[in-house]
């Protein structure tokens, strides 16, 4: 069974009322990174290749548009693959598994957010793969994705390399 948005909100920090949806909680855009060196996925080990931060520009520096809020931090992205870091800390409670879906407005703007499984016991500020197929402008703090939680049996709890990622930043 999938849990309600108000249940999911108990496991997201920080969260505001407007992020809470009927079936999940919207996550917002923290930072955008660009891969700068090859990573490695092996039979045993793995590494995440170096990435470089993309600097946001002031809203006043992108094409004027009624929808762009003055003073906002805006990532002006050309087509390519980027790492999107969520602003919120996510804690997947025991007895659950998390799934994340992109906000449809991203998709309608020719962007896609690819995600993996969120394991029971994981806590951290996670990442997703942002595919940009057409130039787009994304504001820091904008809602970009929605996390849902489903009840699930599990074998142990998450104890991998990404446990507690970016919590001390």
Ligand X SMILES: O=c1ccn([C@H]2C[C@H](O)[C@@H](COP(=O)(O)OP(=O)(O)OP(=O)(O)O)O2)c(=O)[nH]1
Nearest distance, CB of residue 116 and ligand X, angstroms: 4
- Considering only CA atoms, which of 113, 99, 108, 110 is closest in space to residue 144? 113
Q: Is the torsion defined by CA of 148, 149, 155, 158 positive or negative?
A: positive
Nearest distance, CB of residue 165 and ligand X, angstroms: 7
What is the 8-class DSSP label of residue 65? -
Cβ nearer to ligand X, comparing 82 with 122: 122
Q: In this chain, which of 103, 109, 158, 166 binds ligand X, going by CB under 6 A? A: 158
* Placement of tokens 């997201």 in the chain: 12
122 binds ligand X (CB under 6 A): yes
Question: What part of residues 80-109 is at the interface with ligand X (CB under 6 A)?
Answer: 100
Q: Which two tokens stand for residue 124?
A: 């951290």
Longest dimension (CA), the chain: 52
Nearest distance, CB of residue 100 and ligand X, angstroms: 6
Binding segment (CB under 6 A) for ligand X, from list 11-19, 26-34, 49-57, 124-132? 124-132
Distance (Å, whole) CA 107 – CA 131: 10
117 binds ligand X (CB under 6 A): yes
Binding segment (CB under 6 A) for ligand X, from list 12-20, 54-62, 110-118, 130-138? 110-118
Q: In this chain, which of 16, 53, 160, 167 binds ligand X, going by CB under 6 A? A: 160
Give 103-136 as a DSSP string: -HHHHHTTEEEE---B-TT-EE--EEEEEESS-E
Binding stretches for ligand X (CB under 6 A): 100, 115-119, 122, 126-128, 158, 160-162
């Amino acid at each position: 069974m999938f849990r309600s948005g108000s249940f999911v909100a108990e496991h997201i920090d920080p969260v505001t009322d407007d992020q809470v949806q009927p079936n999940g909680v919207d996550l917002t855009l923290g930072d955008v990174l660009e891969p700068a060196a090859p990573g490695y996925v092996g039979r045993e080990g793995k590494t995440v290749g170096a990435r470089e931060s993309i600097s946001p520009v002031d809203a006043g520096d992108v094409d004027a548009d009624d929808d762009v809020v003055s003073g906002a931090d805006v990532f002006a992205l050309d087509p390519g693959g980027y790492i999107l870091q969520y602003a919120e800390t996510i804690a997947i409670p025991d007895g659950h598994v998390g799934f994340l879906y992109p906000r449809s407005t991203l998709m309608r703007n020719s962007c896609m957010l690819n995600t993996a499984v969120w394991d029971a016991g994981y806590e951290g500020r996670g990442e997703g793969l942002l595919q940009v197929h057409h130039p787009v402008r994304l504001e820091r703090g904008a809602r970009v994705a929605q996390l849902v939680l489903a009840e699930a049996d599990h074998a142990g709890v998450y104890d991998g390399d990404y446990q507690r990622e970016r919590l001390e930043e």
